[in-house]
Structure 1
Amino acid sequence: MAFIIRRLVQSVVVLFLTSAIVFLGVYAVGDPLEILLPADASMAERAQVVASLGLDRPLYVQYAAFLGNALQGDFGRSFVFNQPAIQLILQRLPATLELAFVALILSIVIGLPLGMWAGLKPRTAVDETIMTGSILGFSLPNFWQGMMLIMIFAVWLGWLPSTGRGQTGEIFGITTSLATVDGLRHLFLPALNLALAQIALVIRLTRTGVQETMPLDFVKFARAKGLRERRIVGVHVFKNILIPLVTVMGVEFGSLLAFAVVTETIFAWPGVGKLIIDSINNLDRPVVVAYILVIVTMFILINFVVDLLYAVLDPRVRGRS
Structure 2
Amino acid sequence: MRNPSLSGVRDAADAVARIALPTPLLTFEVGGTIVFAKAESLQPMGAFKLRGAWWRLVSLSPKERARGVVAFSSGNHAQGIAWAAKRLGIAATIAMPSDAPAAKLAGTRVLGADIVLFDRATESREEIAAALAAERGATLVPSFDDPWVVEGQGSAGIEAATQMAALGCAPPDLVVACCGGGGLASGMALACPDARMIVVEPEGWDDMTRSLAAGVIVPVGPNPPPTACDALMTKRVAELTFGILRARGATGVAVSETEIEDAIRFAFRTFRLVIEPGGAVALAAILSGKVVPGERTLVTLSGGNIDPDQFAAILGRGQ
Decide: shared fold, TM above 0.5: no
Larger Rg: 1
TM-score, normalization by structure 1? 0.24
The structure that is helix-richer by fraction is 1
The structure that is strand-richer by fraction is 2
- Structure number with the bigger relative contact order (C-alpha 8 A, sep ≥ 6) is 1
